[in-house]
């Protein structure tokens, strides 16, 4: 078992704990596991369905990947400044199929917009899955190629024996430094161009996009509200608003919100206040999560969830699991999901094209012609 995250390789298992969302003591057990291993590094995976324990929600959609709802472990070995391999050719082409047709996707966008017009919610993150039956997946090599192609700040690789996860995530869910929390939601995506002049124009288009600005503003308000539930009085503040960052393969609009918390705040309280991250739900959170279950075909599983680590000093870093491939080695399924924020101004065809932009890096490393 090994996990590579933030230039560090974590190997082996010293202690581990997993649970399902049906466990009524899930968060008490999580706090106990963290506390019992507080002098060590701890890696944790949170699936999207953790929402069902936080709120009175359920998930009825099919689950092809069967990833645990929550899984944490303390590694035996830690290798800092670990260098991953250089890009090599992948002699494997995998044909993925979407769990919904383009026609159905476009129709669902129109139906979701009707909910917005009726006042059910004002922004919704709508997702769908690409899936393939794969006898063997060279997940480590795929990760090395994906990192070379995208170089994201929160990418990671995990070999958990039954499951492999390959992620090119650019998004920070939440991190803690001392008594301060930071969250950096992404809303707003634009492709890049090899021509530097065209590329700068695309970046400016994203920065000036009223639709993307509105999406970002709504999620910023949601995150500020989430953090205020656990923040010390008058400490929630904007660190940056709607900054456009350029990655190797994409432009993204990112905001950062921070707050201060009490010294002994439990991780369970932080998760209950902030999970799932607003950038992957929409607003208002609970109503959107309820209604999206009716439009999405597959369970999100790890997608829209988070992976990260706790340090012996009490700090932590957790990402948003997007731009990620999950492989179930026992069931021989590989999948990834894509999605986007739907607002009253959404144009169905453009939303579909944005999903393909987000999926492009996965298609490239997997030799799939979309």
CA–CA distance, 65 with 298 (Å, rounded to integer):
10
Task: Provide the b/e sequence for 149-184 (b: ≥16 CB within 10 Å).
Answer: bbebebbbbbbbeebbbbbbbbbbbbbbeeeebbbb
Query: Phi and psi dihedrals of 197, rounded to 5?
Result: -70, -45
> Residue 3: its pLDDT value, please?
93
Output the CA torsion sign for 5, 6, 7, 11.
negative
Q: Which of 205, 238, 211 is nearest to 223 (CA)?
A: 238
Q: Which of 187, 165, 168, 158 is nearest to 323 (CA)?
A: 168
Q: Is residue 333 part of a domain?
A: yes
Q: Which of 51, 100, 340 is nearest to 212 (CA)?
A: 340
Q: Is residue 251 part of a domain?
A: yes
Count of structural domains within the chain: 1
**Domain of 285, in residue numbers:** 2-86+95-365
Q: Is residue 42 part of a domain?
A: yes
CA–CA distance, 14 with 36 (Å, rounded to integer):
12
Q: Is residue 200 part of a domain?
A: yes
CA 28-57-340 angle, to 5 degrees, is: 110
CA–CA distance, 335 with 4 (Å, rounded to integer):
20
Q: Give the CA-trace dihedral at 18, 21, 22, 25, to 10 degrees.
A: 70
> Residue 92: its pLDDT value, please?
67
Going through the chain in order, the beta strands assigned E by DSSP cover 2-5, 8-11, 15-19, 42-46, 70-74, 77-79, 97-98, 123-133, 156-159, 163-167, 172-177, 180-184, 186-191, 237-246, 250-260, 282-283, 306-310, 316-319, 324-328, 333-342
Strands 180-184 and 250-260: antiparallel
Going through 152-249 in order, the beta strands assigned E by DSSP cover 156-159, 163-167, 172-177, 180-184, 186-191, 237-246
Q: Is residue 73 part of a domain?
A: yes
Query: Phi and psi dihedrals of 289, rounded to 5?
Result: -60, -35
* pTM of this prediction exceeds 0.85: yes
Name the DSSP class of 304.
Answer: T
Contacts for 233 with CB less than 8 Å, ≥ 6 apart: none
CA 45-336-27 angle, to 5 degrees, is: 20
**Domain with 355 in it: what CATH number?**
3.60.120.10
Q: Is residue 291 part of a domain?
A: yes
Under 8 Å between Cβ of 321 and 306: yes
> Residue 362: its pLDDT value, please?
84
pLDDT digits (tens, 9 = 90+) for 161-209: 899 999 999 999 999 999 999 999 999 889 999 999 999 999 999 999 9
> Residue 369: its pLDDT value, please?
42
Q: Is residue 370 part of a domain?
A: no
Q: Which of 296, 305, 298, 299 is nearest to 275 (CA)?
A: 305
The alpha carbons of the chain give a radius of gyration, in whole angstroms, of 19
Query: Phi and psi dihedrals of 11, rounded to 5?
Result: -125, 150
> Residue 87: its pLDDT value, please?
54
> Residue 16: its pLDDT value, please?
96
Query: Phi and psi dihedrals of 10, rounded to 5?
Result: -110, 125
Within the chain, which residues score under 50 in pLDDT?
369-370
Name the DSSP class of 277.
Answer: P
Q: Is residue 235 part of a domain?
A: yes
């Amino acid at each position: 078992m090994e996990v590579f995250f933030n230039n560090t390789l974590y190997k082996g298992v010293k202690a581990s704990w997993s649970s399902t969302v049906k466990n009524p003591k899930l968060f008490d057990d999580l706090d106990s596991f963290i506390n019992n291993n507080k002098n060590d590094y701890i890696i944790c995976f949170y699936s999207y369905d953790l929402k069902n324990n936080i709120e009175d929600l359920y998930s009825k959609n099919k689950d092809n990947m069967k990833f645990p709802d929550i899984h944490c472990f303390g590694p035996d070995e830690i290798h800092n400044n670990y260098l991953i391999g250089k890009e090599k050719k992948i002699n494997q082409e995998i044909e993925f199929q979407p769990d919904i047709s383009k026609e159905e996707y476009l129709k669902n966008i129109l139906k979701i917009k009707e909910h917005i017009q009726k006042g059910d919610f004002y922004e919704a993150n709508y997702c769908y899955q690409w899936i393939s039956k794969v006898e063997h997946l060279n997940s480590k090599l795929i990760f090395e190629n994906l990192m070379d192609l995208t170089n994201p700040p929160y990418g990671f690789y995990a070999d958990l024996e039954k499951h492999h996860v390959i992620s090119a995530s650019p998004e920070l869910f939440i991190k803690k430094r001392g008594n301060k929390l930071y969250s950096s939601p992404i809303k707003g995506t634009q492709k890049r161009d090899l021509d530097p002049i065209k590329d700068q124009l695309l970046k400016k288009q994203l920065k000036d996009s009223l639709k993307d600005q509105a999406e970002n503003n709504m999620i910023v308000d949601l995150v500020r509200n989430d953090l205020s539930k656990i923040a010390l009085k008058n400490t929630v503040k904007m660190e940056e608003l709607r900054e456009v960052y350029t990655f190797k393969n994409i432009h993204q609009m990112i905001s950062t919100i921070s707050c201060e918390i009490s010294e002994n705040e439990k991780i369970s309280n932080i998760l209950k206040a902030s999970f799932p991250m607003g950038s992957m739900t929409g607003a208002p959170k609970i109503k959107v999560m309820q209604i999206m279950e009716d439009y999405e075909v597959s369970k999100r599983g790890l997608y829209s969830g988070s992976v990260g680590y706790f340090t012996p000093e009490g700090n932590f870093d957790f990402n948003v699991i997007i731009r990620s491939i999950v492989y179930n080695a026992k069931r021989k399924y590989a999948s990834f999901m894509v999605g986007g924020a739907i607002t009253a101004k959404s144009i169905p065809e453009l939303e579909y094209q944005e999903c393909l932009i987000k999926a492009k890096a996965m298609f490239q490393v997997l030799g799939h012609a979309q």
